[in-house]
Amino acid sequence: MTRVKRGYTARRRRKKIRLFASTFIGAHSRLTRTTTQQRMRALFSSHRDRSRKKRDFRRLWITRINAVTHEDRVFYSYSQFIQNLYKRQLLLNRKILAQIALSNKNCFYIISKKIIKKKENTNKIKEEKNLNRIYYTRNKND
């Protein structure tokens, strides 16, 4: 069988793996097999946790907003608050709302009061339209 001269390819590959695993502890940074296994595990965890990070932050923001909405001056739940935000077409995402809720509660209360006032105004307008319809149909029949 002929001899294969590969040069330094294996050395280069191992060196690359060792550079990646240089911060690992113990044999995980020295032995080639364990470094490759640990490297695969680290890359898998980093990929998984990038999407989990987004999920966790969204959960944190929702918790913070919900905590402030349950205080005395805001009269409804988190889900109703978000629903009314979308109805009023206010472009505030959960991250910004959570920052406002933490740093400046008065501003958050002002936003919630405006939503409530707009909700009451739209209810009054709907009632007036219904009354006008009733009045119009009564006069039409007479």
pLDDT of the residue at 125: 64
What pTM was estimated for this model as a whole? 0.67
- Which homologous superfamily is 9-139 in? Ribosomal protein L20, C-terminal domain (1.10.1900.20)
Mean pLDDT for each 10-residue chunk of the chain (142 residues)? 84 92 92 94 95 96 90 75 85 91 88 76 64 60 58
Asked if residues 40 and 21 have their Cβ atoms less than 8 Å apart, the reply is no
